[in-house]
Structures are given as C-alpha cells and as structure tokens.
Amino acid sequence: MKNAVQLITYVDRFGGGDLKALRQRLCQGQNNPLRQAFGGVHLLPFFYPIDGADAGFDPIDHTQVDPRLGDWQDVHALGQEVDLMADVIVNHISADSPQFQDYSEHGQASRYEGMFLTLDAVFPGGASEQQLLAVYRPRPGLPLRYTTLKNGSKRILWSTFTPQQLDINVQHPEGQAYLNGILQRFAQAGIRMIRLDAAGYAIKKAGQSCFMMPETFDFITDFSARARALGMEVLVEIHSYYQRQIEIARQVDWVYDFALPPLALHAFHFHTAQPLKRWIGMRPHNALTVLDTHDGIGIIDIGADAADRQGSPGLVPPQELDALVEHIHNASQGQSRLATGVAASNLDLYQVNCTFLDALGGDAQRYLLARALQFFLPGVPQVYYVGLLGGRNDMALLAQSQVGRDINRHRYSPAEIDTALATPMVQQLLQLIRLRNEHPAFNGQFTLLDSPDEQLRLQWQNGPHQARFDVDFESLAHSLSFTQPDAPPLSLQLGG
C-alpha cells in the first residue's frame, strides 16, 4: 500500500455517476485539482445492485459490476491510474441472490443448502436464553429472521444486520467457493487491496459471543492468505474495544484507527489532548487513519469494553463519552440526533451519524486542524468524499430514505463538486493532502513530543527533512512547519 492519502467514495455519488466519469474526475485534465491527489481509492460497493437494502452492502451478485456504473473493464482502467481497494462482504449476501433463491425453491435438494446459516446450524441442540443473550449485537434485537421458503418450508435464518442481508456459512464448501470467486474476480480486475466488511461476525459458535472469537481470527488469517496469494493486501474492518483493535492489528495487514475520530472531537470539545496522547502512545501503526467514512462516527472504539463484565475502562470515562455524544448533537444543531439510534432505521448502537464538519459545528479551522492531526499520525490516511468536499449533513436525503447514515452520503453533481473545490477550506485541505503525499519527512521517524495537557506536538524526521505540527485544543493556536530543499522552512496557517 502506498504511503499516500486515499479517497473513499461511492462511484455514483461523486459526480457523473459512473466509473468513466470518476476516472476523469480523479485522473484527467491538466488543471484538475484532484489529478494525482490520491495514492489510492476505496471504491465503496459497486456491485449489482448499488441501491439495495444497504447501499450495495447486500449484493445480489458480488462478482458483477452494476451496469449503471460500467463493467470490469472500467474498473481495470481506473486501476491502471490509481491503486484500488474494494469490499469483500464476507458475512452475508442478499436474500435476492441466485444462491438463496435456489435454496428457497429447492430446500434440502439445493446445492446451497448449508450455505445459509439457520438457528439450528449454529445451535444444533437448541438455544437457551443465556446463549442468545451472549451473542454480541451491533443493533437491537436477535440476529434472526423467520421466513417461509418458496417450497413452503419454514426456517429461522441468521441475519446479523438487516433481514435482507442473510449470513452465510463461510466454512461450508459453497460458502468458501462463493468467497473465493469474489477474490478471483477482483484479482483479474487489478484490485490491489480488499476490505473485509463485517469480518468480525463471520464465525458463529453456540454459547459464545459470535464476534471476534479465536475461530474468527483463524478465518481472517486463512482468507487473508488467499487474498495475498492473488496479490492483494487486506484491511479488516472492526468496530470494537480499543485493546481488541491492538490485538487484531498484530494479526492482520491493516486495521482502521476508528478511535481517532471521537478522540479528535473529544480533544476539541473538552480542550484536552490527554486521551488522544494516551492513544497515540499505544495505537497500531499498520492503521488506516480516518475522520469519516460511509458509516457513522464510532463511539464504542473509545468506550469501556461492553463484552467484559468487569467493565474494562475505555480511553475516556463514561460520563465524558455521554457528554461527547451530546456535544455532537448540539454542534450539529440536533441534526445528528435525528439520524442516530431510534430516530433512524439503521440502529447502530455504536455510531453517531453526522458529517465530521457538522460534528465540529461547521468550524473550518477546527476541521482543518483535525485533518492535519490525521495526516501526521503514522499509518495511511483516508479521506471520505463528503469530507473531501467539506460536505454538510444531507437532511433532505435523510428525510427521503429514513436511513440514518444517509445524512453523510450526499449525491454530488459535477457542478457541486466544482463549487466545493473552489472554497478556501477545501483548497487548504488539498494543500495538506499534497504535503502529506509528497514531503519526504513522512517516510521517516515519527515522534510524539512532550507538551502540556491541552496541547499536542507531532514530528516527523527523515534525515534533513522534517515536518512538525503543534496545536492547542483550547486556544486553537497552532503551527505546521516543514523543511524545503535549499530554502528556509515553510509554515502553514490553517483556517485563516
């Protein structure tokens, strides 16, 4: 993976609507401010269909590009210009998939019988109340769907997320063949990196949490080896207790630093860098740093361990975590409250749905300081397309879809993109991106320098090349300086 900033984007929501238009937007045109700005692009699900129950994360056919976006040749062409990452949705498949439709029609006579997890498959001896309560849940309720198959038989199917997303048995021969087929198709298209979506839920075991168990690590290790054999690096997407993220990072290629977004917000809201500095001192360096993604702002990632009855403490105290959520709701003028929890149809218990800029009350200076913080931490930074353009909460889309995460999934027209790229905040963000990509200091040694509680001081040194970022979270006083060849050091003033 290149040590350069990556873009996270939907193909159809970033102007133009298809892969050819995205390639033109990112890679062509001499005066294009985005040309060569990113070392890689994470293409959010572009599989058929992109407009199912979960914005492409419930594929009917994971090996087919949605024809509205183009085809695999278009994916390959984009991959010739910029490194591509794509999702492998390992935990589930759409109820409209050919595999499930065959099973629904033929039942035990179907070759796919056993590919779809049922209650009996996980609990062959029956499930007790305590066993069901032990299952870790990202959303309210049990992970089960009662259904009548086309052949008239009734089954209770495992469904971790929505009723339309049916969990597969990744250890069943047909489940393995299904996932291997995705890897083969991706490798043929020149995809360099894969993101294992919902991998923490892939293995189910009676009497256990069914989340990030030893058996889950075994599956991730095996699947990652298959991907690497085809020339692809692997990113594992897990929202969990921070100590568990450290453990996971030791066993995989890449993890997300999901603790960073809420800790950055905490630093601005509480005027202290103490929790942030504690995290910087222990965080894994094989991390993709983010402030925003297609999902919400994670809260569980800095909270106490929900799976530990002893209540292992989080990176911030519980009362501060609760206050942080209220800070976000207030900063967004109540908009995030309308998109989060019981107010929205996707009841993710561990996320607040809001653009990162709105979580900071629309303050451009704080936003740019947060981006500088992100870019100065070890790892590979990713910038979500809405964040790249300084996007605000899309209340119209939220009202239309009633899906909480849509508040941060605006559909940009080409004209909207051009307008956003001309704003001073976005121009400064692009300047930071190019500094992070091009300055040789970021290939050197990182140091967290001593500072008072309310301040943070970060430095990179690579021989004579140095880049340094200092910020005071109370006053917002800051300094971002970097060396130049044969010239005095330069400094940037953010948000001014």
- The residue from 166, 186, 203 where one domain ends is 166
Same domain, 398 and 269: yes
In whole numbers, what is the pLDDT of the chain averaged over residues? 93
Residue 64 and residue 160 in one domain: no
Q: How far apart are CA 393 and CA 391, in angstroms?
A: 7
Compute the average pLDDT of residues 447-461. 97
* Residue 490 near residue 432 (C-beta atoms within 8 A): no
Residues 242 and 343 both lie in one domain: yes
> Tens digits of per-residue pLDDT, 47-82?
999 988 888 899 999 999 999 999 999 999 999 999
Query: What integer pLDDT is reported at residue 344 of this predicted model?
Result: 47
77: left (phi over 0), alpha (psi -120 to 50) or beta: alpha
190-242 pLDDT per residue, tens: 999 999 998 999 999 999 999 989 999 999 999 999 999 999 999 999 888 89
- 44 and 155 part of one domain: no
What is the per-residue pLDDT for 241? 87
Domain assignment of residue 184, given as a range: 6-89+172-444
Residue 391 lies in a domain: yes
Contact 409, 386 (CB under 8 A): yes
> For the chain, how many structural domains are there in total?
3
CATH number for the domain that contains residue 129: 3.90.400.10
Residue 140 has pLDDT above 90, yes or no: no
What is the pTM assigned to this prediction? Answer: 0.94
* Listed residue (253, 313, 311) closest to 285, CA to CA: 253
Residue pLDDT, tens place only, 121-138: 999 999 999 999 999 887
Over 80: is that where the pLDDT of 422 sits? yes
- CATH code assigned at 71: 3.20.20.80
Q: What is the pLDDT of residues 104-117, one digit of tens each?
A: 999 999 999 999 99
If asked whether residues 158 and 181 sit together in one domain, one would say no
Per-residue confidence band for 346, with pLDDT thresholds at 50, 70 and 90: very low
pLDDT digits (tens, 9 = 90+) for 292-317: 999 999 988 998 887 665 668 999 99
189 lies in the same domain as 153: no
| 150 and 284 assigned to the same domain | no
Based on the domain organization, do 77 and 151 belong to the same domain? no
Q: Write down which residue in 141, 166, 191 finishes a domain.
A: 166
Question: Tokens 């209340």 label which residue?
Answer: 395
Inform me whether the pLDDT recorded for 27 exceeds 50: yes
Q: Are 245 and 255 in contact (CB under 8 A)?
A: yes
**Three-class secondary structure assignment of the chain:** CCCCCEEEECCCCECCCCHHHHHHHHHCCCCCCCCCCCCEEEECCCEECCCCCCCCCCCCEEEEECCCCCCHHHHHHHHCCCEEEEEEECCEEECCCHHHHHHHHHHHHCCCCCCECEHHHHCCCCCCHHHHHCCCCCCCCCCEEEEECCCCCEEEEECCCCCCEEEECCCCHHHHHHHHHHHHHHHHCCCCEEEEECHHHCCCCCCCCCCCCHHHHHHHHHHHHHHHHCCCEEEECCCCCHHHHHHHHCCCCEEEECCHHHHHHHHHHHCCCHHHHHHHCCCCCCEEECCCCCCCEECHHHCCCCCCCCCCCCCCCHHHHHHHHHHHHHHCCCHHHHCCHHHCCCCCCCEECCCHHHHCCCCHHHHHHHHHHHHHCCCEEEEEHHHHCCCCCCHHHHHHHCCHHHHHCCCECHHHHHHHHCCHHHHHHHHHHHHHHHCHHHHCEEEEECCCCCEEEEEEEECCEEEEEEEECCCCCEEEEEEECCEEEEEECCCC
Pick from 369, 341, 343, 345: nearest CA to 356: 369
Where is the domain boundary, 113, 137, 166?
A: 166
- Is the predicted pLDDT of residue 345 greater than 50, yes or no? no
Residues 374 and 280 in one domain: yes
437 with 452, same domain: the answer is no
146, 234: one domain: no
Asked whether residue 193 falls in the same domain as residue 321, the answer is yes
Residue 1 included in any domain: no
Give mean pLDDT, residues 264-276. 97
Which two structure tokens, joined as six digits, stand for 327? 């800070």
Separation of alpha carbons 266 and 277, rounded Å: 12
Catalytic residues: 197, 237
In a domain, 10, yes or no: yes
Read off the pLDDT band of 139 (50, 70, 90).
confident
